[in-house]
Amino acid sequence: MRRISLRDSSLLIALTATWAFFALFEPSFVDSRNISNLFIELSTTSVAALGMFLVILIGHIDLAVGSIIGLTGGIASVLITQQGWPAAPAMAMGLLAGVAGYTVMGLLVARERIPAFIITLGGLLVFRGLFWKIIESETIPVKQGDVDNLLSLQTTYYLPAWLGYALAAAIVAAMIYAALRRRTQRRRYGFELEEPELLFGRLFVIGQVFLLSVIVLNQFRGVPLSLVILGFVSFAIHVLVQHTRFGRYLYACGGNVEAARLSGVPVKLITIGAFAIAGITASITGFMQTAYGGASTSSTGELMELDAIAACVIGGTALSGGRGTVMGVLIGAFLIASLLNGMTLMAVSPEAKYIARGLVLALAVWVDVKLSRR
């Protein structure tokens, strides 16, 4: 019978302890308004981290994501606010710029074999400079609550209460179906099975978490649209890495790139594809982050690459590549978002926030190394 490993449970224990601490010393942490804001913050961090996850999975690193986040949001904001473009084509231009920038970096890494650290470090500087040039180092406001502005609606629109419940029910039903289907397939091929009691308990807890989350969010304004966007992106990345040939190639390239190449894996195309998809997620994050801030400023996206990397590492993704899961990345991002949100409520100084984030990242790596040796 399959059992839950200590590595899998350690993140949940850390997340529970974090919530318990902030709920005890700052009761407003569990207020419906704050939880709604927390989920919006989680969405922006997680979408960026999921793109970073693909790059790290093949054994590379991405330092340019924060600059691309600022650039794509800046392009959309300038086109909408100053040029009078409709939101959809303006965001399409931002998306095109983000994917193009990442594809070029992927080409340089794959074909010229330049270390991704150097290429993306250069991208960090180039894209940040282009971003400042486009917004002319000014603050470009985003009209909030405008129903015609798809950019602002990403973090200002909330689902009706009934739709939130229906969506949660549909997700839980899909997870139950997938779990039972996977169990049937494993039994058919004689693989190890999860204990029925453990499976039922896990699905029951997940269902309760979804139901409770919707109840709490509906006490404020409802399920934020950004959380729905995160759900779609998470599902797409999960299917990509777990149920497609491309996903298997990602793990193969990260595990042993030379063995993958000798086995016929198109390593160059996989690398370019991983960077291109990361460009899509970075662009989406740029729109969400700009909408949440209410404006495109010179600091938009600043240091978000560190939070994205931290979410992946805390979630169990190996920096050497070849290991990691979407669920681990989401839990890692949730831990970071909870930590930052709680410290903000407690009026912790900015320098203390940096220290805490660094310590959490270092501790997560240390724990992962220790557990990997067992």
CA distance linking residue 198 with residue 2, whole number of Å: 9
Please state, as a whole number, how many other Cβ atoms lie within 10 Å of the Cβ of residue 359: 10
Q: How far is CA 26 from the centre of its chain?
A: 26
The percent of residues in the chain predicted with pLDDT above 90, rounded, is 63
Q: Taking 80 as the threshold, does the pLDDT of residue 150 lie above it?
A: no
Residue 243's H or E segment, with its range, is helix 225-243
What is the pLDDT confidence band of residue 182, given thresholds at 50, 70 and 90? confident
More confident residue, 212 or 186: 212
CA distance linking residue 238 with residue 240, whole number of Å: 5
> What amino acid is encoded at 71 in this protein?
L
What average pLDDT score do residues 17-46 get? 93
Q: Taking 70 as the threshold, does the pLDDT of residue 13 lie above it?
A: yes
Q: Taking 70 as the threshold, does the pLDDT of residue 192 lie above it?
A: yes
Helical packing angle, 65-81 and 32-57, nearest 10°: 120
Q: Taking 50 as the threshold, does the pLDDT of residue 350 lie above it?
A: yes
Question: Poorest-confidence range of 82-91, 177-186, 190-199, 281-290?
Answer: 190-199
Q: Taking 50 as the threshold, does the pLDDT of residue 196 lie above it?
A: yes
Largest CA distance in the chain: 63
What average pLDDT score do residues 6-12 get? 69
Q: How confident is the model at residue 374, as a pLDDT?
A: 56
Q: Taking 60 as the threshold, does the pLDDT of residue 147 lie above it?
A: no
Domain chopping of the chain, boundaries: 6-157+224-372, 158-221
Q: How confident is the model at residue 294, as a pLDDT?
A: 87
CA distance linking residue 205 with residue 47, whole number of Å: 24
What is the pLDDT confidence band of residue 205, given thresholds at 50, 70 and 90? confident
Q: How confident is the model at residue 371, as a pLDDT?
A: 62
More confident residue, 2 or 128: 128
Contact 42, 59 (CB under 8 A): no
CA distances from 374 to 7, 262, 321, 369, 371 (A): 10, 31, 19, 9, 5
Q: How confident is the model at residue 56, as a pLDDT?
A: 95
Determine the CATH number of domain 6-157+224-372: 1.10.3470
For 208, the token pair is: 């309760």
For 321, the token pair is: 């590549």
Dihedral, 177, 181, 184, 185 alpha carbons, nearest 10:
-170
> What amino acid is encoded at 74 in this protein?
G
Q: DSSP secondary-structure letter at 28?
A: G
What average pLDDT score do residues 191-214 get? 86
Q: Taking 90 as the threshold, does the pLDDT of residue 361 lie above it?
A: no
pLDDT tens figures, 207-258: 998 999 999 999 999 999 999 999 999 999 999 999 999 999 999 999 999 9
The percent of residues in the chain predicted with pLDDT above 70, rounded, is 94
What is the pLDDT confidence band of residue 60, given thresholds at 50, 70 and 90? very high
CA distance linking residue 30 with residue 260, whole number of Å: 47
pLDDT tens figures, 278-314: 999 999 999 999 999 888 999 999 889 988 998 998 8
CA nearest to 210, candidates 24, 39, 33, 325: 39
Question: Poorest-confidence range of 47-56, 133-142, 348-357?
Answer: 348-357
Mean model confidence pLDDT for the chain: 89
Q: Taking 60 as the threshold, does the pLDDT of residue 181 lie above it?
A: yes
Question: What Rg, from alpha-carbon coordinates, does the chain have?
Answer: 21
In the three-class reduction of DSSP (H, G, I as helix; E, B as strand; rest coil), residue 141 is classed as strand
CA distances from 116 to 235, 243, 251, 262 (A): 27, 27, 17, 22
Q: Taking 80 as the threshold, does the pLDDT of residue 45 lie above it?
A: yes
